[in-house]
Structure 1
Amino acid sequence: MESVEASSNGQRILRIQAPIVDSVSCYCRVDAGLKTVAGARKFVPGAKLCIQPDIDPRAHKSKNSRRERSRVQSPLLPGLPDDLAIACLIRVPRVEHRKLRLVCKRWYRLLAGNFFYSLRKTLGIAEEWVYVIKRDRDGKISWHAFDPTYQLWQPLPPVPVEYSEALGFGCAVLSGCCLYLFGGKDPLRGSVRRVIYYSARTNKWHRAPDMLRKRHFFGSCVMNNFLYVAGGECEGIQRTLRSAEVFDPNKNRWSFVADMSTAMVPFIGVVYNGKWFLKGLGTQRQVMSEAYVPETNNWTPINDGMVSGWRNPSISLNGRLYALDCRDGCKLRVYDEATDSWKKFMDSKLHLGSSQALEAAALVPLNGKLCIIRNNMSISLVDISNPDKHVESNPHLWETIAKKGHFRTMVTNLWSSIAGRSGVRSHIVHCQVLQV
């Protein structure tokens, strides 16, 4: 924006003021060329740099009238410069973004790229949603997104068919907004190397490079925005694996890292104090534990108080390691490094039952709090910043934000326990948080 001011001696001074947001750029159409999973024949990088130059409608006049018309675009919002229009649109709640994409092509391009959501993140108005991947009673994989602001479950595109019945696959989030599914066991093809990912910005599934080894029921984690996988099983002579590999989303490439000390099928893992801890079963079905340090690319066997009292699910949040102390997730424990032991941390004082439907399946961080997700799709938020306060006098410390299937009375708890023992197989497989 330009403004003209008069100086004391009568001369005119032209001042150039920076716009609120950059309205001249191409709005980073980095995702416009991505192919969805269906029919994709080649790997497409998950992130590209914006290389389209700024457009000046007065420069490079062409005789082609069609090209000239394409340079002059209608405003995003009539009567407002584009920078002000974008400043308004980025403040629209995330739940309405699906509707905004349908308004016009310019709005769709804006909301399908990195520019729009980078501004939301920079200004601190990006929203976190909980994504739950569940195996239904018929063995099919489905998934659901929960908006904690409006406390509503939101629709999502269906899981690609190659993962609709997969077993033992991994799930992780890179760059805060891309949910990856990788590996696993196909009912017909056996162990696979495939990798796909869902972008919360485009609301679509995309392809990614395959892993280097076929594997299922393996361990995985994310450190410094690198995706690590290790161990697991694969059909063949060497059934249990020692190998480990890492995916770099910037280079869009998998690479091998150091092998584990011994082959393992992990059943629990967590990143804590810059290390990746894994606990699982070895080739002789004995319980084993190892820790991986990315800086040294080295695995070390672990046998201490942390591992011996470690239970699933667990989470590292704000530098402390938490785990559940009961099946329904209504009690929390915390690891104390000074004594190398697990201690009681917080009790909700409202226990739900011990059925499979009420079993806590995942712990994830959500808006600075600890989030507990159960198999009945109920979700609780725990404020762990004030452990000394009593839950009875401070109900906001432990609150339920999703009550789907949430049982409250003694009768319904008893009925749920009976149903759980009678073979209810619907359960949560993975749970992640995406920020957009």
Structure 2
Amino acid sequence: MAISFNASKVSECENEIIPGLPYDLALECLIRVPFTSHPSLRLVSHLWKSTISNPCFYSIRQTSNKAENLLFLIQPLSPTKTNTEATVAETFDNKKKASSGGDSSSGTTPPLLLYNLNIYNLSCQKWTPLLGISTIPTFAQLVVLPTLRKLLLLGGWDPSTLEPVSRVVLIDLARGTWSDASPMPTPRSFFACAAVGPATVYVAGGHDARKNALRSADLYDVLSDQWHSLPPMSQERDECHALSFDDKFWVVSGYGTESQGRFRPDAEIFDPEKRAWITVNGLWPYPANSPKSTAVVKVDGRSRWWHVLGGQIMDYQWQENQWKGVNMGRLPEWVTGLLSSSSSVCLVDMGDGKIFVMGNAENTCGAQQRVLMLERVTQDNVKTGINWRCQHLFTSPTFFGFPFSTSHLRI
């Protein structure tokens, strides 16, 4: 079936996109090229660049069922050579000694915590680094804006000083460009961050340069490139987790300055109409576990909140205000071993019933089994409930680093 732009012509010579082919047929060829190869396509000619940068091009990919599921991950550049936790601990110890007048020299220079923005293309099962961006702040947060086809990188640490930064980077995926946006009003790291609506991003909590937990929160309007201050939360929340649920911004758990590592059981929800925070008690009953190993997952058209714990996926029952185990069906032992032994687990809803899972801990099954895809399969026999198809995602050690922040986009 022939397809064409429902907008003005991108060129007076649109029948010359590919010499010898009609415009519609040439366009059908281009929409089949994987997204990670689009940077190369833009270099072919000005006409190819303008065609691929046109928003209608990606609308056609969607309507023609040629869109791809992409997972964006903030990962260490050299996970096999850098012990991130040891480096962070040593750096904070040195800062503490220096502030108290002691000797901050440890005898060795900690390696830089260099991070990169990588892409996993589920459609063609390929890992690719997103090149061209200047140094990415360590532990930066990543937020996707599906309607605008843009990504935001926010906050984190300066890789050389490990001081919190306020930098915000806006990445235009359709045009293949990036630029520095208006910085956050408050430099912060390990904060909650999520998009609510097509062009609004919230940030809250985290900690400052002296490791003091924060209550402050801000709102960023992507279209106007402006930040707006919000009322502070009722509690300090360092290492909190953000959810965009029911068109509201949720800040889950976290801990205060004096209670580092002991995660709070409650959450706060921002009500934009009342410009006030609402506290929800009993939402996170795991004081020793970070809420970052959770994700909002679409199940049978409804949003569910899932958490990986003790070798199984836990499902939060919103109406009953409690966590329950999801029937995972029969899984190979190496999968349950991964989920139960990993100190940290990354869980991302990739759509179409597929869940991306990545573990942080080594296990007896080998490093290549730390990354997998779970796919829900509905059985004809109702008694069997939900079963899962498990798939290894084999990749090079370059992409083994545990992702600090992830976002999914179908484009």
Give TM-score, length-normalised by structure 2: 0.73
**For the residues of structure 1 that align with 2:345 and 2:133, how far apart are their CA atoms?**
20
In structure 2, runs of 5+ residues without a counterpart are: 83-112, 361-366
Q: For 2:396 and 2:42, how far apart are their aligned partners in 1? A: 32
Who is 2:284 aligned against? 307
AA matched with 1:292: F
Distance 2:6 2:338 in 1: 55
Q: Does 1:130 align with 2:105?
A: no
Deviation at 1:190, TM superposition (A): 2.1
Q: Which sits farther off after the overlay, 311-320 or 286-295?
A: 286-295
- Residue identity (%): 24
Select which of 261, 276, 288 maps to 1:298.
276
Equivalent of 2:346 in 352, 362, 373: 362
The equivalent of 2:403 in structure 1 is: 428
1:252-275 CA-partner distances (Å, limit 9, x unpaired): 222112221133213333233444
- Cα 1:202/1:391, change in 2 over 3 Å: farther
Greater mean deviation of Cα atoms: 248-257 or 343-352: 343-352
| Distance in 2 between residues matched to 1:221 and 1:73, nearest whole Å | 40
Quote the Cα distance in structure 2 between the aligned partners of 1:405 and 1:85: 34
Where do 5+ consecutive residues of structure 1 fail to align? 1-18, 28-54, 56-70, 407-424
Given the alignment of the two structures, is residue 110 of structure 1 paired with residue 51 of structure 2, yes or no?
yes
User: Residues 246 and 254 of structure 1 are in contact (CA less than 8 Å); yes or no, is this contact kept in structure 2?
Assistant: yes
After TM superposition, give the deviation of residue 431 of structure 1 in Å: 1.9
User: Which of 219, 223, 236 is residue 196 of structure 2 equivalent to?
Assistant: 223
**Other structure's SS at 1:260 match:** coil
Matches within 5 A, 1:244-393: 244-275=217-248, 276-285=250-259, 287=264, 289-304=267-282, 306-308=283-285, 311-318=291-298, 319-326=303-310, 330-347=311-328, 349-352=331-334, 353=337, 361-369=345-353, 370-375=355-360, 378-383=371-376, 390=384
Q: CA deviation at 1:388?
A: 5.6
The residue correspondences of 1:157-168 to structure 2 (distance < 5 A) are 157=131, 159-163=133-137, 166-167=138-139
Partners of 2:377 and 2:255 in 1: CA distance: 32
The equivalent residue for 1:400 is: 391
**Whole-angstrom CA distance in 1 between matches of 2:44 and 2:331:** 48
Cα RMSD, aligned residues only: 3.4
- Per the alignment, in what secondary structure is the counterpart of residue 212 of structure 1? coil
Rg comparison, structure with higher value: 1
Query: Cα offset for 1:325?
Result: 2.1
Structure 1 ranges of 4+ moved more than 6 A: 384-387
2:195–2:201 contact (8 Å) kept in structure 1:
yes
Give yes or no for contact 1:193–1:214 (8 Å, CA) kept in 2. yes
More helix by share: 2
For residues 390 and 102 of structure 1, the distance between their equivalents in structure 2, rounded to whole angstroms, comes to: 52
Query: Number of aligned pairs?
Result: 347
Change (3 A) 1:294 1:23: closer
Q: Distance in 1 between matches of 2:394 and 2:385?
A: 19
- Aligned letter for 1:314? T
Contact 2:313 2:326 in 1 (8 A): yes
TM-score (norm 1): 0.69
Equivalent residues in 2 for 1:185-200, closer than 5 Å: 185-186=157-158, 187-188=160-161, 190-200=163-173
C-alpha displacement of 1:355: 9.6
- The one-letter code sitting in structure 2 at the alignment partner of 1:147 is N
